[in-house]
Structure 1
Amino acid sequence: MADDIRPLPQPGILDIAAYVPGKAGAAGSHAVKLSANESPLGASPKAVAAFRAASEHLEIYPEGSSNLLRTALSDVHGVAAERIVCGNGSGDLLHLLAQCYLGEGDEAVMNRYGFSVYPIITKAAGASIVMVEETDYTADVDLLLAAVTPKTKIVWLANPNNPTGTYLSDAEVRRLHAGLRPDILLVIDSAYAEYVTAADYSVGLDLATQASNVVMVRTLSKMGLAAARVGWMVGPAAVIDAINRIRGPFNVNLPGQLAGAAAVRDTEFTARLKAHNAQWRDWITQELDSNHMHVVPSQGNFVMVLFPDAEHAQLAFDTLMERGLVVREIGNSYGIPHGLRISIGSEQAMRGVVGILKALVQIA
């Protein structure tokens, strides 16, 4: 019947499980959200002022290449502005990379507990995702390389990884790159780079500026601009050219560009955010890691806490929720049903989480 005829999405689209963000408290509640890895110190005051100033010019289109933002990134990070492309959050850029370099019959490789957006964008491009097992919740270079086939076109690597917080050293990332064919694109997703304290870590800038098949993707969301949706990427000239050809013509809005540039230049605020995170990330790790719970060592602005089983994890989640502390369940989205991801928040929030979980394991 004609009534049954309707537009249909491309094959495979309806097989994709949609991204599920972390929960928030009920509207009007005073719940503390520790489920989305947001900044506990808000945004840079300079970024807030720039965002407000942009409200005086909402009738005009933003500059199409995000030149002001790219210049700020270039000045602070020491990379040529023409090797940078900006996006509506890093997710926008990841989608564009998949659209550019993946198609029907291709494969993309990722570690088992990597960012859950990677399978979505891979399948949306018509390609297949190859999940590779990890070692101690950490990407394993040997296993990743062993999973590469003639069909492989992209390797997705979140470094540090979400939701585990684990990372690969600069030497291991370079070993991974050295083992890939030159036609395979290595995507280093350094979304949490601002929070890393490990001495052997590298954000991936050197590889992204020197190699012909490496890009580094970053975001300003974790620095306090989650609402503004600002991401950026560094890569070879050919990759940047390809992305610029298909991205939206005004894909970063004016408030985002101005606030982003101000946030990037406010290195004092970034340092304060990093110091707060390091202090309370280390503290909550030491307080909770025990015979009852295991905290996976993290380099992000969150920790992953593992419980004896899924039932204990659910009890912990429900109890924290009842007390107004909302953390991230990672069973359905990441396949770690006995774990919870807890964002680093204020001192009060961190002490609250620790107090509740310590009391819980004594009675569970």
Structure 2
Amino acid sequence: MTGPQPRNGIMDLPPYVGGKESLPGQEKIFKLSANENPLGASPNALEAYRMAGENLEIYPDGHSVALREALAKAHKLDVNKIVCGFGSDELLQIMATAYLQPGDEAIHTEHGFLVYKLASLATGARPVSVAETNLTADVDAILDAVNDKTKIVFLANPNNPTGTMISASEVRRLHAGLQENMLLVLDGAYAEYVLTTDYEDGFALVEETQNVVTTRTFSKIYGLAALRLGWAYCPAPIAAVINRLRGPFNVSTPAQVAGIAAIEDQAHVQASIKHNDEWRDRLFQQISGAGFEVLPSHANFLLIKFDPENGLSAAQAEQKLNERGLILRGLTAYGLPDALRLTIGTEEANQLVIEVFQEMAGNNG
């Protein structure tokens, strides 16, 4: 074979496959497959983005100083421990690159975010999938999987695609069971949607330790998914490592200024939280009331399970939903072939979801 060849194992990586984007033949589509904010971005963020477009010939601030300062002020954090990235995915991949090598192991839960496994495999390390209990991370199972080869533990809290979370005390018990040379990465992509008080956002653990990183994204609560903007809060030595590996201008100027405006528009953030809380509860009640199994969620989506032996399969339900212009996320890639993930949408979309689920229940009653 001629031509450059990739490192062994690269072509064995399964490509990341997102949810459906379109439904050919449908006039009106409600895309409820990507956990996007149904209220969109803050008008202030949109205006800041438009204004930034007037100076596209100028390189962005390579250190995202103003954005980091806005994040530090909003969350009362040390600005020097904040690193911004091209989405939180970039930061997760950088940490895998920095702290994993062939022979190492990285732990993730069996239904955790797919990027953890892909980022680990890309380094030549071995990803270790740990069983969950009731689709929730099991700290004892994770700690049982830890050995001298373990270098990273990835934990999404709340988890995508299940919407489940573990308490602050369980997060701290997990950390206490790790050696000092093992990195605990707490992925808080959906942290802003958590309303329970028994939640560990990771910021305090970063301050107290040297081996915890927490990541966040602007793609969910801030509605800036198209800009690919994320950030991490890290101990200073880890921030120094990430800063050596990230691209020198990895966050564009439009993304930086839109991010700052989004942070400062807390009225929009609170409106997004309120909409999500109200409709998450209503959809849970209505869909479960129609006879479908729905997991309680701490995020901006619901996981709905189907029983092909006694009713509809997930594939059959997805087809019926598609016929009405509703796109949900199939979860076969996550090891959940009998489930669909429903993003909390606009009022119009949510009402249609309820209508279709009630129709499906009636047709299978």
Which band: TM-score by shorter chain?
Answer: over 0.9
The one-letter amino acid of 2:198's match is: D
Alignment partners' CA distance in 2, 1:308 and 1:347: 28
Work out the percentage of aligned pairs sharing the same amino acid: 48
Higher mean Cα deviation, 15-24 or 309-318?
A: 309-318
Aligned to 2:17: 20
Alignment partners' CA distance in 2, 1:112 and 1:65: 35
The one-letter amino acid of 1:154's match is: I
The one-letter amino acid of 2:52's match is: A
Alignment partners' CA distance in 2, 1:49 and 1:131: 43
The Cα shift of 1:289 comes to: 1.4
Question: After superposition, where does 1:298-309 map in structure 2 within 5 Å?
Answer: 298-309=297-308
The one-letter amino acid of 1:258's match is: V
CA displacement 1:177-209 (0-9 Å, x = unmatched): 001001000000000011111121121111122
The one-letter amino acid of 1:339's match is: A
Check the 8 A contact 2:290/2:361 in 1, yes or no: no
Matched, 1:339 2:336: no
Higher mean Cα deviation, 259-268 or 55-64?
A: 259-268
Check the 8 A contact 1:209/1:234 in 2, yes or no: no
Higher mean Cα deviation, 192-201 or 177-186?
A: 192-201
The Cα shift of 1:288 comes to: 1.1
Aligned to 1:96: 94
Structure 2 gaps, min length 5? none
Check the 8 A contact 1:62/1:250 in 2, yes or no: yes
Instruction: Please report the RMSD computed on the Cα atoms of aligned residues, expressed in angstroms.
Output: 1.2
The Cα shift of 1:29 comes to: 4.2
The Cα shift of 1:351 comes to: 1.2
Aligned to 2:250: 251
Alignment partners' CA distance in 2, 1:290 and 1:116: 31
- Paired residue secondary structure (1:278): helix
Higher mean Cα deviation, 18-27 or 236-245?
A: 18-27
Aligned to 1:358: 358
The Cα shift of 1:291 comes to: 7.5
Aligned to 1:323: 324
The one-letter amino acid of 1:17's match is: P
The Cα shift of 1:363 comes to: 1.3
Check the 8 A contact 2:23/2:322 in 1, yes or no: no
Structure 1 gaps, min length 5? none
Alignment partners' CA distance in 1, 2:27 and 2:16: 25
Matched, 1:172 2:173: no
The one-letter amino acid of 1:323's match is: R
The Cα shift of 1:357 comes to: 1.2
- Paired residue secondary structure (2:152): strand
Alignment partners' CA distance in 1, 2:179 and 2:109: 18
The one-letter amino acid of 1:197's match is: L
- Paired residue secondary structure (1:221): coil
TM-score for the superposition, normalised by structure 1: 0.97
Alignment partners' CA distance in 1, 2:123 and 2:324: 42
Check the 8 A contact 2:33/2:328 in 1, yes or no: yes
Check the 8 A contact 1:309/1:337 in 2, yes or no: no
Question: After superposition, where does 1:180-195 map in structure 2 within 5 Å?
Answer: 180-195=178-193
The Cα shift of 1:131 comes to: 0.5
The Cα shift of 1:355 comes to: 1.1
The Cα shift of 1:290 comes to: 4.5
Aligned to 2:60: 62
- Paired residue secondary structure (1:289): helix
Alignment partners' CA distance in 1, 2:28 and 2:208: 48
CA displacement 1:264-291 (0-9 Å, x = unmatched): 1111111110010000001101111148
Check the 8 A contact 1:25/1:324 in 2, yes or no: no
Alignment partners' CA distance in 2, 1:291 and 1:226: 33
Kindly tell me the number of residue pairs found equivalent between the two proteins. Answer: 360
Check the 8 A contact 2:290/2:358 in 1, yes or no: no
TM-score for the superposition, normalised by structure 2: 0.97
Matched, 1:10 2:11: no
Question: After superposition, where does 1:188-203 map in structure 2 within 5 Å?
Answer: 188-203=186-201
Question: After superposition, where does 1:233-272 map in structure 2 within 5 Å?
Answer: 233-272=232-271
The Cα shift of 1:358 comes to: 1.6
Alignment partners' CA distance in 1, 2:290 and 2:107: 35
Alignment partners' CA distance in 1, 2:206 and 2:269: 23
Alignment partners' CA distance in 1, 2:291 and 2:171: 33
- Paired residue secondary structure (1:85): strand
Question: After superposition, where does 1:13-162 map in structure 2 within 5 Å?
Answer: 13-26=10-23, 29-162=27-160
Alignment partners' CA distance in 2, 1:273 and 1:297: 19
